[in-house]
Structure 1
Amino acid sequence: MRDPEISALIASKLREFHDLDMSGPKTVHLWDRLRNWLKVSQSLCSAEEAKEFHFDVLAEEINSLEKSLAGADQKIGFCHNDLQYGNAMIDEETRQITIIDYEYASFNPIAYDVANHFCEMAADYHSDTPHILDYSKYPDLEERKRFVHIYMKSSGEDPTEGQMKDFLEMIEKYALTSHLIWGFWGVISEHVNDIDFDYVEYARQRFEQYWLRKPILLGSN
């Protein structure tokens, strides 16, 4: 996904996806999903897991994030919400991208969907340790700029430096919500799935990234 050519194709296709005029209310699902998955995680996990993952404070963290992010002028679109490499297929001859698997799709801030896509670049689900994430593979600023520029221009926009800067900053902040959502997913999956995957360790890494990145992005402890 980090290959410049393929990344450009994904950026254009993701913009096309976000612009789909789907039926139904265009209501953001992100915050309800976070709160619901926190409650399910709390009902399933052990006391030790709840303590380790700071579940006692995460409801307030979600409230704080929503308050911090909801005030900005941001576009809401139909989002995939799980754009990892297994869900982006490419035709080797035509170089056309097809996005598949829509079980998590819903309306959300488009910055969240891009942030989630960037976070997935840390994963290699076909390695001997598919649960281990390597955040040195998270796209650097130049890669993120290139993706966002292609994303914005693909629909005919000519974004200013200020517009790109604002979008990039919002994407980084929404990465925090991605870490929480997939942390909860890991905890829940550990208790409901029989797949050979270390879901708890995966969750641990996502929560660690949340606490590591939060003071950098939001300026709070």
Structure 2
Amino acid sequence: MATAKQLDVVASEWKIPTEAKRALLGLAAAWDDVPDSRALEAVPLNGGMSNAVFRIRWPIAAGDEASASRNVLLRIYGEGVCIFFDREDEIRTFKLLSCLGHGPRLLSVFPSGRVEEFIHARTLSSSDLRRPEISALIASKLRELHQLEMPGFKVPLLWERLRNWLKAARRLSSSDEAKRFKLDLVEREISILEKELSSGDHKLGFCHNDLQSGNIMVDEESRVLTIIDYEYASFNPIAYDIANHFCEMAADYLTETPHVLDYSKYPDLEEQKRFVWTYLSSSGENPNDNEVEKLLGGIEKYTLASHLIWGLWALVENHLGDIDFDYLEYAKQRKIECMFENKALMA
């Protein structure tokens, strides 16, 4: 545990800003069961792609329970993330979702980060996503999220976000990078995708937009599943959100090569059908084959949009991020540079 003298060392070693330290001490000082607010332990958590995340815990006065502690999650925002989303909007969404029982409670906010409720559950691994019992829980939880009545204009943010991220990628990328990833053609590609996909009857819902394994937690005893990290959440076509989740099954961000995607792990047709049927039936409905096939068709087409948006994200993060991650290789893995020669999914 960090003593009073060690707290500044912990903060310095893990890049915890002074304002975060004040927020943590202020929270702990208000808890009667924490005898010393400065006797904390800061444990860095793996898996953050844009933020630095820590588990903060204090020993509590709990009789013979020597291992008992108070826990919170500390999130330090990454550099330049304001390019990707509006932080004030994200905080408002976080608060509202917390009130609706989705995700952790917000405990404190400071300019460079926030303190959240610590969820005592296991973060999913990449392999968990394809386990039938876990996948069914995700499908049902995602349907619940999509049906939330959230404030704001119910229009897809996808196309605006793609164009904004393209502008940032063009501004930050070197001429070699721009040529390698054919950034001069991406605006046209976005317009083609928007025209083709907007012509169909794609249902909108409040989407997570980043449903990878690290953003899903499960309580092993109760089997309650919790989706976290709503930074990119917005209204979008539900087919896009599911397509993005399927793409994330190819990733494992906790390996020695987190930037490498294994597309053999992309769910096969039977897995996709099982997920979609569970998703559609989780609200008590009895979907027919046409409804399942229609949603599957939309998911297949929106896969292109998922690759494009995260490829652009990687090109921007390559110039902003300070995490040990090969962003350019990840953009290549998302196949941006070869999209313009393959319109098979748009048939």
- Taking structure 1 as the reference length, the TM-score comes to 0.96
Structure 1: distance between partners of 2:184 and 2:141: 39
Structure 2: distance between partners of 1:141 and 1:184: 28
Which of 77, 87, 97 is matched with 2:205 structurally? 77
Cα displacement (A) at 1:204: 1.1
**Equivalent residues of 1:75, 1:110 under 8 A apart:** yes
- Partner SS for 2:223: coil
Q: Which runs of 5+ in 2 are unaligned?
A: 1-128
Distance 1:26 1:10, change over 3 A: same
Q: Which residue of 1 aligns with 2:292?
A: 164
Which of 287, 304, 307 is matched with 1:176 structurally? 304
Cα displacement (A) at 1:36: 0.5
Q: Which residue of 2 aligns with 1:51?
A: 179
Superposed counterparts of 1:27-176, under 5 Å: 27-176=155-304
Q: For the pair shown, which has the larger CA radius of gyration, 1 or 2?
A: 2
- Taking structure 2 as the reference length, the TM-score comes to 0.62
Question: Which has more strand, going by share of residues?
Answer: 2
**Equivalent residues of 2:216, 2:226 under 8 A apart:** yes
Amino acid in the other structure paired with 1:14: L
Matched, 1:6 2:6: no
Cα displacement (A) at 1:166: 1.0
Distance 1:208 1:61, change over 3 A: closer
- Partner SS for 2:329: helix
Distance 1:78 1:56, change over 3 A: same
Distance 1:86 1:18, change over 3 A: same
Cα deviations by residue, 1:65-99 (Å, 9 ceiling, x for unpaired): 00000011121000000000000100000101100
Structure 2: distance between partners of 1:45 and 1:183: 13
**Equivalent residues of 2:140, 2:279 under 8 A apart:** yes
Distance 1:123 1:143, change over 3 A: same
Structure 2: distance between partners of 1:34 and 1:210: 17
Cα displacement (A) at 1:209: 8.2
Cα displacement (A) at 1:210: 6.1
- Partner SS for 2:335: helix
Amino acid in the other structure paired with 2:312: F
Structure 2: distance between partners of 1:38 and 1:172: 23
Cα displacement (A) at 1:24: 1.6
Cα RMSD (Å) of the superposition? 1.3
Structure 1: distance between partners of 2:254 and 2:185: 34
Distance 1:210 1:170, change over 3 A: farther
Structure 2: distance between partners of 1:56 and 1:105: 28
Cα displacement (A) at 1:157: 1.9
Amino acid in the other structure paired with 1:109: P
**Equivalent residues of 1:180, 1:210 under 8 A apart:** no
Cα displacement (A) at 1:163: 1.2
Q: Between the two proteins, what is the percent identity of the paired residues?
A: 62
Q: Which residue of 2 aligns with 1:217?
A: 345
Amino acid in the other structure paired with 1:195: I
Corresponding pairs, count: 219
